Amino acid sequence: MFWNKKKDDVQEIKDAVEPSQPVFTRPTEIPEIRKIEMPSMQEPKNFAPLYIKIDKYKEVLQRVQKLKTILSNLSALARLEGEVEKIASQIEANEKKNLDEFSGLLNQLDQELVRPQSFEPFIKDNSRPIDGNINQMESELKEIGDRTENI
C-alpha cells in the first residue's frame, strides 16, 4: 500500500508536466575539458641556500655590502672628478681671457705713451754672474768649517 501510493503520485506529477517544457536529459558525450597552463609557483628565495654554512654566508653578505660601498664611493669620485675637470677648464679659460685682456691693455698703453725720437729703453740687468757667487760661497763654507773645527 505504501509503495502503490507513491507510484501514483509520481505518475500524477509526470502527467502534470507540460510536454512543451524541455525535459532535462543527460548528454551522451562528455565535452572535452581543456587544460589551462598554470603559472609556475616559485616564490623568491628569502633564505640562505642549504649548501653554504651560516658563517660563510654572513661573510659573503658582508663582502657584498663592502662591494656596494666601494661602488658608491667610486661613482661619487667619478662625479667629483667631472666637477673638478669642469672647474679646471673654467680656470684655464679665465686665465687665457685675463692674459689676453692684460696683453691688449699693455699694448694700448704702450701705443698711447709718447716717446722722444732718440729714446732707447733702458732695462737694468739685475742678473749677476753665478761663477763669482759660487766661488765666494765655497770660501765662506771653508771658513765656517775651520771655525767649527776650532771650537
- pLDDT tens-digit series, residues 82-131: 999 999 999 999 999 999 999 999 999 988 887 777 767 667 666 666 66
**What are residue 132's phi and psi, to 5 degrees?**
-65, -40
Global pTM value: 0.37
Give dist(CA 81, CA 79) in Å, integer: 5
Min mean pLDDT across 12-21, 55-64, 82-91 is at 12-21
Q: Which residues, other chains included, contact 60 with Cβ-Cβ below 8 Å and sequence gap of 6+?
A: 52
Q: Which of 124, 147, 144 is nearest to 136 (CA)?
A: 144
Question: What letter represents residue 23's amino acid?
Answer: V
| Amino acid at position 29, single letter | E
